[in-house]
Amino acid sequence: MTGSVVLVHLAGAIALLLFATRMVRTGVERAYGDALKQKLRGTMRNPLLAVLAGTGLSIAFQSSTAVTLLVGSFAGAGIVSGMAGQLAVRGAEIGSALVVKLLSFDLSLLVPVCIAAGTVMFMATERRDWRQIGRILVGVGLLILSLEMIGEAAEPLRESRLLPVIVAYFASDPVTAFLLAALMTWLFHSSIAAVLLFVTLAERGFIPPELGIVLVLGVNLGSSVIAPLLTRGAAPAVRVVPVGNLLMRGAGSIVMLTLFLVFKPPVGMLGAAVSDQIIHAHILFNCIILIAGIPLAGLVYRASQAIVALGGGGEKAGSLADAELSALDEAALATPSLALANATREVVQVCETVEIMLTRVIELYEHADQDKIDELAALDDRVDRRHAAIKLYLAKIAPAELTQAEALRCQELLGACVKLEQVGDIIVRNMLAHVQKKLDRGLTFTDEGWRELTAFHHVVLTNARLAFNVLVSRDAETARQLVQEKDRLRALEKQASQSHFERLREGTAKSVETSSIHLDTIRDLKQINSLLASMAYPALEEAGLLTGTRLKAV
């Protein structure tokens, strides 16, 4: 087998590894993301529980970066403190290392079991939770399969004359090897994938133990850079946690590399096999960072705040984000196809604004703040301005120049704008009024009631994203799924209302105090979902999947 063919096989196996890791994370986020987020919110006030929560979330999401971004957003919203957030991230790094240890065992039998069971669960039902569990199982199966493929693809390299030269070079130049591992991890956007790749190659005898330790330290540097880069345009409060992680983990990896090269400690204590030594070094490093991070948490937090304030990028990014750019080019009106494309781009921007409003409003229910309420209300003005501009723009297109398909698209965009404006009005006039009432009276939901509200909101937010996708793609299958979710939400509403009235009958004080807010919020979210689901009707009608009435024939 030629070297180019070996590299093609190896590249395909690595690509499958990255895809499978993302597939598992996506399935977990869609199936259990809201519940896990709520669990994190409730435990972040206790330092020990914050570490444990971060560890658990990292194992579930298969990504410490995802947890870092999540905790950073919580810190930015004032839900958790920056110091508690940094401790949660420390736990997330340990959880990420434990995932690598778990996947290092011989799990080959799980490949056919997970793929077969996951495929059956995904295709045999339309229930979202079961389909996402199926997605997770298929992802786990593909993840294990990709590790086997990497090992098989690398096997011909044993006969290579060039590989020993390359390995010897990196072994003699640990700084370059360290930086290369950091770059690979940044490109992968996954420390788990990077460490698993090195572990698999070490099992085949391609990586000596000392070089493996250096590569693991480089992985930790690369992983610590990802979140700060992804949040570089975010608000300063959001960036503090990722920057603090970079200070601890990134700087810690450089310090540990220096100590390792100076003192050259024996690596045999980490395990008998090179692969075990690499995994255990990864776990040990993150445990050391956690232990060192506890007494240094206050210092690191203040230093990260100072760095973010010194950069000042967040404020500039915010002012640029406030600038409104319009896609409604008057010169394109003479070409209806271009004009409709411009209008579609503008409607997509309205969708993004509505999604921000829908995402942020539930956070205000838990941690209301008058300034944030005013900021959210101001977004509705943006929606109204864009809605009016889109209507005027589409009205300027001469009807005689439109084909039948273009005329239908024009009506679809107008209808979508009207629905999006109505959604914005419901959020601002109804839901923000509930938030204000809750804030003024100092009310709190019961734990069960809050879980019901957030779960209901999560379903509506997911359906909103489906609706926005349908508006652009006009995919009939996605549109059908969106309308089916409308029926599911109706059942969830009945279940939530029954649970709420049961708590009222039991005389739960908090339930009585927040009863109207709870029921009105459920009603508003259901109305929002109905408006957004109706955006799927044009795509269904075009595909011949829409009936004239839901009434049974008599």
Q: What is the C-alpha separation between 480 and 470, in angstroms, rounded?
A: 10
**Using one digit for the tens of pLDDT, what is the confidence trace for 320-372?**
344 556 788 888 888 888 889 988 889 998 998 999 999 888 888 877 777 78
- Give percent of the chain with pLDDT exceeding 70: 90
Q: What is the mean pLDDT of the chain?
A: 83
Scanning the structure block, which residue is given the tokens 């349908």? 470
Lowest mean pLDDT among 69-73, 143-147, 187-191, 195-199: 69-73
What topology does CATH give the domain 443-545?
Methane Monooxygenase Hydroxylase; Chain G, domain 1 (1.20.58)
| Mean pLDDT computed over 434-461 | 83
pLDDT digits (tens, 9 = 90+) for 252-296: 999 999 999 999 998 889 988 999 999 999 999 999 998 988 888
Find, among 530, 498, 537, the residue nearest to 426 by Cα: 530
| pLDDT value of position 48 | 77
CA 262 to the chain's CA centroid: 40
Q: Is 512 or 210 the better-scoring residue by pLDDT?
A: 210
pLDDT score of 433 more than 70: yes
Q: pLDDT tens digits for 450-485?
A: 888 888 888 899 889 889 988 888 888 888 888 888
Tell me how far apart the alpha carbons of residues 422 and 428 are, in angstroms, rounded to a whole number.
10
How confident is the model at residue 43, as a pLDDT? 67
CA distance 527 to 225: 42
Instruction: Tell the residue number behind the tokens 């593909």, with chain if given.
Output: 142
Going from the C-alpha of 4 to that of each of 7, 272, 441, the distances in angstroms are 5, 33, 69
pLDDT at 528: 94
The answer to whether residue 551 scores a pLDDT higher than 60 is: no
Query: What distance in Å separates the CA atoms of residue 137 and residue 478, rounded to the nearest whole number?
Result: 22
Q: At residue 1, does pLDDT exceed 60?
A: no
- DSSP secondary structure of 440-488: HHT----HHHHHHHHHHHHHHHHHHHHHHHHHHH--HHHHHHHHHHHHH
The pLDDT, as a whole number, for residue 548 is: 61
Q: What is the pLDDT of residues 258-270, one digit of tens each?
A: 999 999 998 889 9
Lowest-confidence region among 60-64, 211-215, 237-241: 60-64
Over residues 401-419, the pLDDT tens digits come to: 788 888 888 999 999 999 9
- Coil/strand/helix, residue 231: coil
Helix locations, 124-235, DSSP H = 128-154, 162-172, 174-188, 191-203, 209-230
Distance of CA 333 to the CA centre of its chain: 38
Instruction: Answer yes or no: is pLDDT of 31 > 60.
Output: yes
CA distance 131 to 125: 7
Instruction: For residue 397, name the pLDDT band (cuts at 50, 70, 90).
Output: confident
Query: What local confidence, expressed as pLDDT, does residue 423 receive?
Result: 93
Is residue 507 over pLDDT 70? no
Q: Which two tokens stand for residue 2?
A: 């030629």
Q: Which of 183-197, 303-317, 516-530 has the lowest mean pLDDT?
A: 303-317
Return the higher-pLDDT residue of 51 and 83.
Answer: 51
In this predicted structure, what is the pLDDT of residue 510?
60
Task: Give the type of residue at 356.
Answer: I
Give rounded-to-5 percent helix, strand, coil for the chain: 85, 0, 15
pLDDT value of residue 472: 86
DSSP state letters, 165-182: HHHHHHHH-HHHHHHHHH
